[in-house]
Amino acid sequence: MRRLSVVVAAALIAVGSAVAVGVAAPAALADTQICTKYGSTSIQGGKYIVQNNVWGDDTTQCINVTNTGFSVTSAVHNLPQNGAPAAYPSIYAGCHYGNCTSGSGLPLRVSDSRFSTISTSVSMSYPNNGSVYDASYDVWFDPTPRTDGQNTGAELMVWLNKTGSVHAAGSQVGTVNLAGANWEVWYANYGWNVVSYVRQGSTSSINFNIATFYRDMLNRGYAQNSWYITSVQAGFEPWVNGTGLAVNNFSYSIGGGSDPGQGKRIVGAQSGRCVDVPNSSQSAGTRVQLWDCNGQANQSWTYTSGKQLQVYGNMCLDANGKGTSNGTAVIIWSCNGQSNQQWNVNSNGTITGVQSGLCLDAPGTANGTQLQLWSCGGQANQRFSLS
């Protein structure tokens, strides 16, 4: 379900309660077609639920559900682009109007350390047939561990693409760089906070940590650490047509797996502190530092088969400016496969740049010590462990 006026929201809550609460989604054993307004089915043994969710229109919409996602096979929506959308066909993990997936760990309090490990990815396809829509994530938060009914904390939307003249709910309140991209930030309140991040420049895929956007919401005063995340959904809001929209693949993980948020700490042998991205920044060019280990996503590094040290799933440890001299700053930058983002993790505890041959070096032991490249000397300030 999506943002609506309070009156419409109240009506929809009643409808949703009647058709969804306490009704388990049947499993999709093969490709399944759904044409009923609120029809849904589970896939991958109940790990995800796919829903048609035609909440804003009386015309028929059909979706074809596969084991990895869904596609809109038929839709004839034709709604004004300055109003609410027709539907939100989507795939989700968590609980939505009484339908809960298996193994999601949701609802989960934001203050729980596992929240920072929640990550998700999606790959989408867009038609070229004049459809008007947005392609978006819809992530719900409630003051209580709610599994049914309308969430009243916050709704986080992440728009990957949009067509026509549609825009996010409310008004634009700022811009921000997160998850390797620039976003417009929009805000509205319909009895709950609706915070939408609209990507500047469309994309058909994304892989990100939920906490990345939620931290920005907290900083803006639109969310609370005491709230619970209840579901992570990805799909489309069509206004006109919508046939051909598709989620090809969707993933959700908590506390493990190959998604961002799972990884290892890089701990300095001399300092005992972790390699850290200050203030959980995801801005390209942010210089990394030492900081007390805290288990957060900004200290979680994945060493890839391409010798990259990734954080957040899409940013890499980088020798600034492809520098090869002593004192070169070590930063994060969007992963690009270049040799200044490749590192050898050696058995003696050193981490050396493939391009420079220099060692990752901490010139101090205090919180905030900025890391650099330096000629390898075998000292403890150049030894690290991945754990």
What is the average pLDDT score of the chain?
Answer: 89
Bond prior to 363 in cis (omega within 30° of 0): no
Task: With CA atoms as reference, report the closest residue to 13 among 152, 189, 135, 107.
Answer: 152
Q: How far apart are CA 91 and CA 372, in angstroms?
A: 43
Q: How far apart are CA 198 and CA 305, in angstroms?
A: 32
Q: How far apart are CA 327 and CA 324, in angstroms?
A: 9
| Mean pLDDT on 362-368 | 97
Higher confidence at residue 118 or residue 10?
118
Residues whose CB is less than 8 angstroms from the CB of residue 128 and which lie 6 or more positions away in sequence, other chains included: none
pLDDT of residue 362: 98
Number of folded domains that form the chain: 2
In a domain? residue 62: yes
DSSP state of 62: E
The CATH number given to whatever domain includes residue 117 is: 2.60.120.180
In this predicted structure, the answer to whether residue 260 has a pLDDT above a threshold of 50 is: no
61 and 129 share a domain?
Answer: yes
What are the b/e assignments for 86-111, b being 16+ CB within 10 Å?
A: bbbbbbbbbbbbbbbbeebbbbbebe
38 and 186 share a domain?
Answer: yes
Q: Find the range with the poorest average confidence among 39-43, 127-131, 179-183, 366-370.
A: 179-183
10 Å CB burial of residue 44 (0-12, 13-18, 19+) is middle
pLDDT of residue 21: 34
Element (H, E) at 211: helix 210-219
Pairing assessment for the beta strands 193-199 and 154-162 based on DSSP bridges: parallel
Q: Which two tokens stand for residue 135?
A: 């392609």
In this predicted structure, the answer to whether residue 22 has a pLDDT above a threshold of 80 is: no
234 and 339 share a domain?
Answer: no
In a domain? residue 164: yes
Q: pLDDT band for position 20 (50/70/90)?
A: very low
In a domain? residue 259: no
Q: pLDDT band for position 13 (50/70/90)?
A: very low
Q: pLDDT band for position 136 (50/70/90)?
A: very high
283 and 228 share a domain?
Answer: no
Residue 42, strand partner residues: 27, 49
302 and 235 share a domain?
Answer: no
10 Å CB burial of residue 84 (0-12, 13-18, 19+) is middle
Higher confidence at residue 130 or residue 15?
130
In a domain? residue 340: yes
In a domain? residue 379: yes
pLDDT of residue 27: 60
As annotated, the active-site residues are 155, 237
Which range of 19-28, 114-123, 306-315, 363-372 scores highest in mean pLDDT? It is 363-372
The CATH number given to whatever domain includes residue 289 is: 2.80.10.50
In this predicted structure, the answer to whether residue 4 has a pLDDT above a threshold of 80 is: no
How many CB atoms sit inside 10 A of residue 201's CB? 9
Q: pLDDT band for position 255 (50/70/90)?
A: confident
- pLDDT one-digit tens code per residue, 91-106: 999 999 999 999 999 9
- pLDDT one-digit tens code per residue, 281-335: 888 899 999 999 987 788 989 888 789 999 877 789 999 999 999 999 999 998 8
Q: pLDDT band for position 336 (50/70/90)?
A: confident
In this predicted structure, the answer to whether residue 256 has a pLDDT above a threshold of 50 is: no
C-alpha separations of 129 from 85, 133, 218, 233, 243 in Å: 18, 11, 39, 25, 8
Give the residue numbers spanning the domain of 282: 266-386
- pLDDT one-digit tens code per residue, 54-87: 999 999 999 999 999 999 999 999 999 999 999 9
Element (H, E) at 319: strand 315-319
18 and 156 share a domain?
Answer: yes
218 and 340 share a domain?
Answer: no
pTM of the complete model: 0.65
Which of helix, strand or coil describes residue 188?
Answer: strand
Percentage of the chain beyond pLDDT 70 is 90
CA 178 to chain centre: 10
In this predicted structure, the answer to whether residue 380 has a pLDDT above a threshold of 70 is: yes
203 and 243 share a domain?
Answer: yes
Task: With CA atoms as reference, report the closest residue to 223 among 296, 153, 137, 152.
Answer: 153
pLDDT of residue 25: 66
Residues whose CB is less than 8 angstroms from the CB of residue 5 and which lie 6 or more positions away in sequence, other chains included: 84, 190
| Domain C-terminal end among 253, 284, 301 | 253
pLDDT of residue 73: 98
- pLDDT one-digit tens code per residue, 194-225: 999 999 999 999 989 999 999 999 999 999 99
HEC string of 16-56? HHHHCCCCCCCECCCCEEECCCCCEEEEHHHCEEEECCCCC
In a domain? residue 258: no
In a domain? residue 260: no
